[in-house]
Amino acid sequence: MKTLEELRKIREKAQNEMKMRNSESRVKVVVGMGTSGIALGARDVMKAILDEVSNRKLTDVLVTQTGEKGLSSMEPVVDVIEKGKPKITYGNVTPENARKIVVEHIVNGKVVSDLVVATKND
């Protein structure tokens, strides 16, 4: 492993930052990672999302994946969940589309309507 000293420095920096803002996440992004999703390219979709989120330092976005997904005909599938808003499900997502979803929907707040396959109020 890389030096633990380095990790301690990161901790100090992060703790100082965390004191100044609340760390609650604003958006949750869920990528369907069941067998059919994986077979249809969900791993690279996830990779693209993580890449955008980390390059843009979007610390208020929670990115996760789940094997519990049933929309096999529209995989890869990505859910975007924001508090107080309907859950938006994107289907047949490519890595390129995934980057677009991060920029347009998550950063700029505009749903990418042509990629939406379901909208659900909770």
**Binding stretches for another protein (CB under 8 A):** 1-2, 4, 6-8, 10-11, 13-15, 18, 23, 31, 33-36, 38-39, 43-44, 46-47, 50, 54, 57, 59, 62-68, 70, 72
Residues of the shown chain interacting with ligand ATP in the complex, contacts defined by CB under 6 A: 34-35, 67
Q: Which residue has the tokens 């990418």?
A: 112
**Cβ(97)–Cβ(113) under 8 Å?**
no
**Count of CB atoms situated within 10 Å of the CB of 3:** 8
Tell me how far, at minimum, the Cβ of 113 lies from another protein, in Å: 25
CB of 68 to ligand ATP, least distance (A): 8
d(CA 27, CA 49): 13
What's the rounded Cα separation, in Å, for the pair 96 and 14?
A: 31
6 binds, among ligand ATP, another protein, none (CB under 5 to 8 A by kind): another protein
Residue for token pair 């499900």? 89
- If the CB atoms of residues 53 and 88 are measured against another protein, the closer one turns out to be 53
Instruction: Pick between residue 35 and residue 54 the one whose CB is nearest to ligand ATP.
Output: 35
CA 121 to chain centre: 19
